Structures are given as C-alpha cells and as structure tokens.
Amino acid sequence: MRLEGKVALISGAAMGVKGELMGIGGATAWLFAREGAKLVLADINADKGEKTAAQLRESGADAVFVPLDATSEQDWVRAVDTAVSRFGKLNILVQCAGTTVPGGVEQTTVKMWNQMMDLHGKGMFLGTKHAIPAMRKAGGGSIVILSSTDGMIGGGFSASYAAAKGANRLFARAAAIQYAKDNIRVNSLHPGEVDTPLARSAIGEVMEQGGTDPRLDWIPMGRLATAGEVAHSILFLASDESWYMTGAELVIDGGITAR
Ligand SMILES: NC(=O)c1ccc[n+]([C@@H]2O[C@H](COP(=O)([O-])OP(=O)(O)OC[C@H]3O[C@@H](n4cnc5c(N)ncnc54)[C@H](O)[C@@H]3O)[C@@H](O)[C@H]2O)c1
C-alpha cells in the first residue's frame, strides 16, 4: 500500500480495460489502485475510460472517470476539481495523454507540428498549472510527466514528437525548481519502446507488411517494455519513496540511451 491515503489524477488512462493491451496510463491506474490510491482517470476516449474506471471499481478500487482533452484548459480545471470534490484533495498527477505522428522535418506539416506541441507541450503545462494550487493545499505532491527517450536523444521516428517530448523534459525541470519550496516535486520519465496501443498503431504499417520490428535492433535488452514495467517506475516517482527527487529524468529504456 505505497499510495495509501493518496489521491491521483492520471491523464491518458483510458487504455486500461482488462483483457486488452494496456497503455502506460491504464496500467498505472491498476498498479496505483493496488497500492491504495484513490483515482481520477482522465482521457479523450470516454468509452474506454469509463470502462476502465468501472472495472477498477468492480475490483474494489475508488475510481472515477472524467472526460479530458488535454489541450483544453477548461477540461483540466474540471479534472482537478473532480479530484478535490470527490476525494477531498490531489496528491499525484501523472500525465500520460499522448499521441505521435511519424515524419522527418520535410514530411512534417504545420498541422502535425501544432498537434504534437499542443498535446504534449501545452497539455503538460496546463495539467501542471492547474494541479499545483490543489497540491499546495494538500501540503505538497508529485507530478510525473511522460516524456520519452526521443525527448533526450531525438530518435529518428518523428521530428515533431521528439521536439515536443524535449519540451516536456525542460518544462518539468523548470517547474521542479519553482515549486520545490511547496513540497511539489516534478519529474520527467523517459521510456524507450513500450508495447502499447499507441505504439502498435504507430508501427502498424511496417508490421502489417510482415517486416521485422525495426525497434528491436536498437534495444540492447532485445525486447520492448510492457506498460506494467513502466507503471512501476511511475509508482516510484509518485510515491514518497522518491521524496528527495525533483527535476530528475528517469530513463526506462532497456539500454537504448546507453549506446
Ligand atoms: N509507447 C511507447 O513506446 C512510448 C515511449 C515513450 C513515451 N511514451 C509516452 O507515454 C505516454 C503514454 O503512451 P502510451 O504508448 O502508453 O499510450 P496509450 O496507448 O495509452 O494511448 C495514449 C492515451 O492518450 C489518450 N489521448 C490522446 N490524445 C488525448 C488528448 N488530446 N487528451 C486526453 N487524452 C488523450 C488516448 O485516448 C489514449 O488513451 C505518451 O505521452 C507517450 O508519448 C510512449
């Protein structure tokens, strides 16, 4: 029960339906529930989000779903308000909402660029901005921002995604310095290649054509991570076990960035 008494808001948590491939947010919701947290799940996919929350409740967890477009300030205000009105406070924010568009610089349109910057850049800023007053009232908190190894080393898959994930990394550090005195910690997490619905849809075309998975070539451990494995590192950053960590960049990548 490493999160007993804590209230957590997780964005991008809809992909947590039992029996289906889970995303990082969905797997985190199940792990957090097992560790005693009360949960607000938020996502643009209301159908899967409601289903995940209902299954969590059936399993005995305290969980609600709130629709959230992470690019909307109003939606973030509502999501934080839901945590406070339903459970009395907010201690943890995990920002998993995300998507990707493939393409090098010349293949990237302004629309693609704006989509990446809006969701990852503006979205993570808005979530953090509106969680902070509630966390201050709670005496402190932990914010985990899902960046990527692409936000550290660029990667070759998508110029706009790498740029947006790089923005997440430095935003987390700036916020960490600003709110350390309020006991609000902000850390970024940098997964490498994780087998999730989002990653499968991004790599789908290659795999459908019967090609070998190109990602395996650059992972020293020779396999993708599961969403559950990434959820454990999120749990560490969210819990009091990482109390002295803020502005840190935790890498979970099977050795990719060690190359
Ligand atoms: N899968 C990977 O290999 C990988 C690697 C590094 C980083 N990440 C990052 O981790 C996070 C989670 O990725 P995942 O692969 O587990 O994803 P996932 O398969 O769980 O899908 C992402 C979720 O975000 C939701 N979402 C999309 N747009 C949204 C919006 N505008 N508002 C609210 N919710 C929205 C989707 O509905 C979905 O539930 C993302 O930020 C992703 O960029 C993933």
Mutate-to-test residue for ligand 1 from 17, 45, 96, 250, highest number of ligand atoms within 8 A of CB: 96
Asked whether the predicted pLDDT for residue 70 surpasses 80, the reply is yes
**What's the chain's length in residues?**
259
Say if pTM beats, i.e. exceeds, 0.95: yes
Q: Can you tell me the mean pLDDT for 195-207?
A: 87
Strands 249-252 and 92-95, by their bridges, are: unpaired
Ligand 1 centre distance from Cα of residue 210 (Å): 25
Q: Please report the pLDDT score of residue 205 as a whole number.
A: 67
Q: Which CATH superfamily is domain 7-258 in?
A: NAD(P)-binding Rossmann-like Domain (3.40.50.720)
| Residue of 125 and 156 predicted with greater confidence | 125
Pocket lining: 233 vs ligand 1, CB cutoff 6 Å: no
Q: Can you tell me the mean pLDDT for 144-161?
A: 95
Domain spans, the chain: 7-258
Asked whether the predicted pLDDT for residue 211 surpasses 90, the reply is no
Ligand 1 centre distance from Cα of residue 65 (Å): 17
Asked whether the predicted pLDDT for residue 147 surpasses 80, the reply is yes
Extract the tokens encoding 175.
């916020």
Q: Can you tell me the mean pLDDT for 112-117?
A: 98
Q: Please report the pLDDT score of residue 206 as a whole number.
A: 66
Ligand 1 centre distance from Cα of residue 119 (Å): 10
> Among residues 76, 87, 161, 179, which one is catalytic?
161
| Residue among 163, 221, 167, 169 at smallest CA distance from 194 | 221
Q: Can you tell me the mean pLDDT for 141-167?
A: 96
Sequence-separated (6 or more) residues with CB below 8 Å from residue 92: 3, 6, 7, 8, 9, 32, 37, 141, 142, 143, 144, 238
Asked whether the predicted pLDDT for residue 209 surpasses 80, the reply is no
Q: Can you tell me the mean pLDDT for 9-30?
A: 98
Pocket lining: 96 vs ligand 1, CB cutoff 6 Å: yes
Q: Can you tell me the mean pLDDT for 21-28?
A: 99
Ligand 1 centre distance from Cα of residue 102 (Å): 14
Pocket lining: 193 vs ligand 1, CB cutoff 6 Å: yes
Confidence of residue 1 (pLDDT cuts 50, 70, 90): very high
Atom of ligand 1 nearest to the CA of 25: 20
Average pLDDT, the chain: 97
Atom of ligand 1 nearest to the CA of 193: 3
Rg (the chain; Cα; Å): 17
- Residue having the nearest C-alpha atom to atom 26 of ligand 1: 97
* 161 has catalytic annotation: yes
User: Are the C-beta atoms of residues 22 and 96 closer than 8 Å to each other?
Assistant: no
